[in-house]
Structure 1
C-alpha cells in the first residue's frame, strides 16, 4: 500500500504552479510605498483580484504593476491618469504622482542640504523624525516619521490650498507658510480646532464645515515642514494633533474615510512625538470608532487596545472612552460575554471620573455621552441576538437623549434614532414611531451622513410594520426627508 504523504510536506509535481502569497505592504515606510499600497488596495476594490487583468486594462506589463505596488519602481507619469480612469479614483493617482515621484529629485537634493548651525534646535521635515530623535524607552511609539504621516494626509488633499484662519472663509489667494513656527501659528491651529469642533457637533461634518476641515488640515500638514524652535515643539505638535482629531472627526462624519483616517494618524503621530498621552488616547479612540463603523471590528478592537497601553497615564474618562470602543467592537462581533465585560469596565472607569483631571477636549465625555456610547454596543446585541434583553440599551439611550444639550445636537439625534429603532424592533411599533418623529425633528438641518444612515435604518425597521399606520407614516416622512 502506498504511503500517504502528509498535506504539509506533500511534494508538488513538476510543471504545476502554486500561487505565491502577495507581499504585505507597509504604506507608512515611504511615499513610494504608500502609492503602491494604495494602488493595490484600489485595484482589488475595483474587482481586479490579481494583477494580470488589471495590467492588460491599463496596457502595461504585469511586472510593472507589481513593482509599482511594492514601491520599488517609479510609476510612469502618463500611467497615473490611466490608473485613475480605470479605477475611477477621481484623479487621486494623478495628484499623488507629482508628490511621490515628481518631487523625487528635490527630496534627493534636500538630503545634501547642510545641517543648521549649532544653536537653537529646529524641526526639519526632511531630517528623520520630526523631533530629530527617538526615545528608546517609549515602546508604544510608532517608528514612522511625522512627515510621512503628513504626506499621507496631503496626498488626498493635494488640490487644496493652505489657508490661514482668516482665509478659511474666503476664496482669496492663500498666504505662503511662514519661515518658522511662532506662537501665532499655534494659536491659529487651536482656534480653528475649537471652532470646527463646535460647528461639527452642532451641525455635522458636511457642506461648508467639511470644506473648512479639509482646508485646515492641509494647512496644518504644510506647517509640519516648517522649522520650529525647540521651545515651541510640544505646543506645536499638540496643536496639530488636536486639529487632526477635529478635522478627522468631521471627515469621518461624511464618510471621507481615507481623509479621516489619515488625519487621525497624523494626530496620533504628533501626539506620540510630543508625548501627549491624552491626545494619543483620543486619536486611537477615533481610529477604533471609524474602523468599527465601516465594518472592521477586529481592527477597531486593536486600535482601542493600542490606546489603552500605559493606561496609568490616562484619566478615568479616557479609560472609559477606550473601554467603550472595545465594547462597541465586541458588540459588532456579537460576542455577548466580552461586550458585557467591556461595558462593565467602561462603567467602572467612568465611576472614577474626575472632570477636573480631564483635558479640555474630554469635557464632552459626560454621563450622556458615556450612556450613548455604551448603549450603541448593547444595541448590536439587542437587535442581533434573539432573546437578548434590550432594556439596558434602551435605558442608556434614554439617559443620553435627556442629557445631551444643544451643543451636541448630532449625538442627541443619533441616540434618539437608535432608541426609536430598538423600540420599533423589540417593543411597541407605535411608541417607536413617536420616538422616530422626535429623532427627525432633532436631526433636522444636520449634514451628517452617519446620522442619515441611522435614519435610513430606522426606516427599514418601520417597513416591518406595513399594517400599523404610525409606522407607515414614519417611513414616508423618512423617505421624504432623505430625498430633500
Structure 2
C-alpha cells in the first residue's frame, strides 16, 4: 500500500518553500506522481522528492529544466540563487554569531521577554483571544480589508493567489508592510508579529508568479520589495536567519528589476547588518559596498545608513582606522540630510538612529580594545537613548543596554547598574532575541563585579526577566 505524501510546510525554511512550490506546480501541470516528471526533467525520483521535501540541495543546473517543463517563466531559476546560492557559505551554524571577547556561550533566550521563543512553525492557529488583542495594537489593521488578516496569522491557511495582479494587491502589500514595520519596532519580531511577517512574505512571493500588467509592475515590485525588507527585519530580530536572508534577497531582486534604488540600498543595508550579526563581517562589508553602487541616486540619509553598515563591519574586524573613517563618512553624509528628500519609510533614520548605529560600530572598538577611548561611543549611545521615541522602543532599549554594557566594561559598575535597570525596564517585554542577547551580555559583564551589590542585583534582575 503506497505511503501518503508528507505534508509540506513552506514556512519551515527557504528550502521548504522551494520544494513546496515545486510540488504544487508539478501537480498543477498534470504530473500527479513524481516519476513521469522526474524523467521529463532528467533527474532521479529520489532526488526530486527530497528537493520537494526541502531536505536536499537542488542542483544548480536543474531549475532551468523545471521552468521549461512547468512553464514557470524563470521562477525556479531566480529562486535558486536566493534559496541555495549561499548554501555553502551560510550553513545552519551561521545563525550563531561569534561571541565577542568575554561573552562566552549562552543558551537560547526564553521566557517572558521572548513570549516563549521565536515564532513557531506549528500549523495551529494563534489563539483567537490573542489574535483579537493583536488586532487592537493598531487601527491600521482595519484598513487591510478585504484581505482577511486572520489568514496571514495562521500558518495552516493557504492564501489565495489571484490570476492577475491588480491595484488591490499592491495596496494590501503596502498596508501590511506599514503596519508590520510599526509593530515590529514597538514590540519586536516575535509572537504574532513573527507569524504575520512569515506568512505575509510567503503570500508576497506567491504573488510574484501571478500575471501583472506592465503598467502596474513597477509599483507591484516596489510593494513586494518593501514588504520583504520589513518581514525580513522581523525574522532577523528573532534569528530566523534563513527566512530573513531570503526575504532581503527577494526585496533586492524586486527593487533592481523595478529600478527602485532606495529600496535596493535598504535591502543591501539589511543584508550587511545580518551578515555582521551572524559573524561574517567581510560579507557584511561587501553588501554595504554593493548598496553604495550609484550612490548619486541615493539620499544623504541612505548614504549615511550604508556608511554606518561599513563602520559596523570594520568595528567587528577591530580595524580602528577604517571604522573611524567610515563613521566620519556616515557623519558627513548625515550632515547633508534633507528629510524631505527621503522616501517615507526612511523617516526612522533620524539623529537618534544615526547616533545609535554609529555608536554600535564604536562599541566594538571600546569593548574589544582596551587602549581605545570609549567616550565617543558613550556619548552617541546617550544621544540615541534620549532621542528615540516610544515608536522605536526596541532601538531605544538596545542602545540603553549597550551603553550599560560599555560603562560596566570600561567605567563605574554602579553607574552601569543604574543604566542597566533602565534598559531592563525599556526592553523587558520585547519579543526580540537580539534585545535579549544584549541583556544577557550585560549580565555577563555585571557578573565580573559580583562583589558590588548594585551589579549583582542587576545580574539577578536580568536572569529573572529572561527565565522561562
TM above 0.5:
yes
Change (3 A) 1:73 1:331: farther
In the TM superposition, what are the counterparts of 1:70-85 in structure 2 within 5 Å?
74=44, 76=46, 80=50
Contact 2:67-2:77 within 8 A present in 1 as well:
no
Q: Provide the rounded CA distance (Å) in 2 between the counterparts of 1:464 and 1:440.
A: 19
What does the per-residue CA deviation read over 1:188-241, in whole Å, with 9 as the maximum and x for residues that have no partner? 000110111001000000111111100000000000000000000100000000
CA distance in 2 between partners of 1:231 and 1:457 (Å): 51
Alignment-derived partner of residue 337 in structure 2: 353
Report the counterpart of residue 55 of structure 2 in structure 1: 93
Choose the corresponding residue for 2:382, options 395, 398, 409. Answer: 398
Report the structure number with the largest CA radius of gyration.
Answer: 1
1:239–1:159 Cα change, 3 Å: farther
TM (norm. structure 2) is: 0.74
- How far off its partner does 1:105 sit? 8.4
Match of 2:69 among 106, 109, 124: 109
For residues 303 and 320 of structure 2, the distance between their equivalents in structure 1, rounded to whole angstroms, comes to 21
Q: How does 1:241-390 map to 2 (within 5 A)?
A: 241-390=225-374
Partners of 2:453 and 2:391 in 1: how far apart?
34
Taking the aligned partners of 1:204 and 1:191, their CA distance within structure 2 comes to 19
Taking the aligned partners of 2:211 and 2:204, their CA distance within structure 1 comes to 13
Partner Cα distance (1:463, 1:159) in 2: 37
The two structures, once aligned, show a CA RMSD in angstroms of 3.2
TM-aligned CA deviation for residue 356 of structure 1 = 0.2
8 A Cα contact 1:238 1:270, kept in partner: yes
Does residue 237 of structure 1 match 2:221?
Answer: yes
User: Which residue number corresponds to residue 211 of structure 1?
Assistant: 195
The normalised TM-score by structure 1 is 0.72
1:448 corresponding residue in structure 2 = 432
1:11-22 map, 5 Å? none
Give yes or no for contact 1:149–1:266 (8 Å, CA) kept in 2: no
- Give the C-alpha shift of residue 174 in structure 1: 3.9
Instruction: Give the total of aligned pairs.
Output: 376
Determine which structure has greater relative contact order: mean sequence separation of CA pairs < 8 Å that are 6+ residues apart, divided by chain length: 2
Secondary structure of the residue that 2:212 maps to in structure 1? coil
Contact 1:271 1:277 (C-alpha < 8 Å) held by counterparts: yes
Q: How is 1:20-59 mapped onto 2 (pairs within 5 angstroms)?
A: none
C-alpha deviation, 1:186, in angstroms? 0.2
- The secondary structure found in structure 2 opposite 1:76 is helix
Alignment of 1:116-155 (within 5 A): 126-128=72-74, 146-148=78-80
Contact kept? 2:197, 2:235, Cα under 8 Å: yes
Contact 1:463 1:472 in 2 (8 A): yes
Distance in 1 between the 2:174 and 2:315 partners? 35
Looking at structure 2, the residues matched to 457 and 465 of structure 1 have their Cα atoms a distance apart, in angstroms, of 14
CA–CA distance in structure 1, aligned partners of residues 184 and 335 of structure 2: 28
- CA–CA separation in structure 1 for the residues paired with 2:306 and 2:296: 13
**Residues 152 and 262 of structure 1 are in contact (CA less than 8 Å); yes or no, is this contact kept in structure 2?**
no
CA distance in 2, matches of 1:352, 1:197: 26
Distance 2:409 2:66 in 1: 60
CA distance in 1, matches of 2:83, 2:359: 37
Shift in alpha-carbon separation, 1:467–1:151, aligned structure 2, 3 A: closer
Shift of 1:444: 2.0
Q: Deviations over 1:324-383 (max 9, x none)?
A: 000000000000000000000000000000000000110000000000000000000001
Unpaired runs of at least 5, structure 1 = 1-30, 36-70, 85-90, 112-125, 131-143
CA separation of 1:365 and 1:216: change in aligned 2, threshold 3 A: same
Q: Match of 1:423?
A: 407
Residue number in structure 2 paired with 1:41: none
* Deviation of the 1:443 alpha carbon: 0.4
